[in-house]
Each structure stands twice: as C-alpha cells, then as structure tokens.
Amino acid sequence: MKKIAKILAMFAIFALAFSFAGCKSDDSDSSDDDVTISGGSSSGSSEQAPEGFVKILAASISGSETWTPSSNVFVSGRKLEIASFYMSDHEVTRGEYKAVMGIDPSEANAYDKAGNKLTGDDNVKNNPVNNISWYDALVYCNTLSIKEGLTPCYAIGGSINPGDWGSVPTSLDDTWNAATCDSKANGYRLPTEAEWEWAARGGESYIYAGSNTIGDVAWYTENTNDTGTRDVKTKKANGYGLYDMSGNIYEWCWDWRGSISDGTASSGPASGSSRCLRGGSWYGDDYAARVASRNYDYPGSRENGFGFRLVRHAN
C-alpha cells in the first residue's frame, strides 16, 4: 500500500507540473519593432479589432530617439504618450462615404490597379473618396458614429449632432475651428498627426509606408500619370497592415499645421489657419509620399486629392 501511495503522489506532482507548463505564456513568438519605442501592431492581443481596422498599441516616446527617416513631428525632447487606437486599414472609400452621407462628392477619375478607367457607382466604390474638406470629415465621423450607436468624438457649438452644426463652411469658420474632440469616446475620428506618422512608419525604418521602393506601396504621379485615384488596398501594406499610407489620397489629420517643438502637445499646435494633410496622393511626387512629409491646407478646402482615414479609441 505504501508503494502504491508513493506512486500516486508522484503522479499527482507530475500532473500539477504539467498543468503549470501548459499555462505559461510563450514569448518566443514576440518580435521587437525596428525602432526603439514601445508599442506597435496588436498581434497577440486578445481584443478584437473592428472589421477593416488594425489595432495600434500604445507608444511611449521619450524625445531622445533617432528616427530613420528623420521626423519633424517626433522632434528632439518632445515626449508623447500615444494611447492604443484602431486605425482603418484603408482610406474611406467612395462607396463607404455615399452609404453614410447619401452622396459621393469625388471629382478625381477612378481607376482599377491595372489602369482601367472606372465609371458607375458599383465600379468606383473601392476608390478613395476625394474632394473632402477637413470640415466634411468631421461631419462624416460623427454621422457614422451616431448611425452605429457609438459615442461621437466631435462637438461643435456644444453639440455632437452634425444636424445642429449648420452648413459645412467652404472657408475658415471660427465656430467650426473651435471644434473639440473627445479622443476617448468610442466613435470615429481623424488621427492626430503623431498617431498618423507612428502608424505610417509601421514599426519599420522605410522612407515610404512599407518600403524604400515607392512603387511597391504607393500610387503617385509617376505610376498614375496624373490620371486619378486607384482602388484601395492594391499596393503592399506596411508593417502594421495599413494600405495606402503613402500615395493615392492625402489624408486629413486633426492637428493644426504649425512648427513642432519639444513643448508641443500630443494633439499638435494650439491654433493655426491650416490643418495637416499626410501621405501624398495620386498626383503628388515621391517626396510628398514619404512617411515624414508634412502637408497642409485650409480646413474648408476641397480638392480631388484630399480624403481621410478613420481611427477609434482602443483599450
């Protein structure tokens, strides 16, 4: 009996050890970003990203990093805490915009990846919406948030309902310029410039979003012949799984355009007359498509190279 009891005790110890081994987290699949900042793509995260979105993990930027390519946003001494967020893996399309707003204001010609010109709503729906102002983008974000039962991020004149905001301005408007953003609400919004550039770099050190060879990742003047936009997601994605962060359409960001110093808030300069645009476009050159390039225009401006990409708060 003592021998049997001893064997059973040994078996119990073995079983217990095995159960602990099965619960141990395995770090062997984890990988570091190419830059020396904490944060990045959400591979391994148990939280489910909304369809068509990628989770970008929080990043703590000390202001002492060396950036390749160099950055005019992550400047020396500027400390930033970028909270986790979801970013759409594609620019808002003509089909998506029309489904929410009832119209497609786009003016650029639409093409597929082979360069065939597209006509008709069903055929152009996967091209990025364009001819969008910064003001238009705010209306879309809150309208879509309300439609999906989410809490809108933007308030103008104290209201989160775009129906209360009046007609969308086509020139600088003090009331609309004073819009506030609740970045912790679960609705849709524009990225800050810091969020945009962090995501565009994709945890890599490429000149363009996903490659040092622009043609791999971007639709721009040389491969579109200045003819128009192309279907989204037809070029290579960057390291975070985001498409068209270089080229196709300039993307509005939340921030005012201005010089960045070590004391600039994470949401950008406190005031200005223009808002930031990033990423280059189908008629832009290779310089504009760089992950570090900054562009800007008045928030009421609409051009056939201006569009946007959505982000949402993530836990």
pLDDT 10s digits, 118-166: 999 999 999 999 999 999 999 999 999 999 999 999 999 999 999 999 9
On the question of pLDDT at 33 being above 70, the answer is no
pTM for the whole structure: 0.86
- What is residue 48's predicted lDDT score, i.e. its pLDDT? 78
Question: DSSP label at 34?
Answer: S
Residue 40: the pLDDT is 52
Identify any residues that bridge with 60 across adjacent strands, giving them in sequence order.
38, 81
Domains of the chain, first to last: 85-313 (3.90.1580.10)
H helix or E strand, kind and range, residue 23: helix 2-23
What confidence tier does 49 reach under pLDDT thresholds 50, 70, 90? Answer: confident
Mean pLDDT of the chain: 88
Give the per-residue pLDDT at 21.
34
224 to 231, 248, 310: CA distances (angstroms): 12, 9, 25
Place 249 in a pLDDT band, splitting at 50, 70 and 90. very high
Using the structure block, give the residue that is written with the tokens 């970003």: 33
pLDDT (average), residues 161-185: 98
What span, in angstroms and rounded, lies between the C-alpha atoms of 301 and 170? 7
pLDDT at 32: 31
The DSSP annotation for 152-218 comes to PSEEBTTB--GGGS-SPPSS--HHHHT-EE-TTSSSEEPPPHHHHHHHHHTTS--SBTTBSSHHHH-
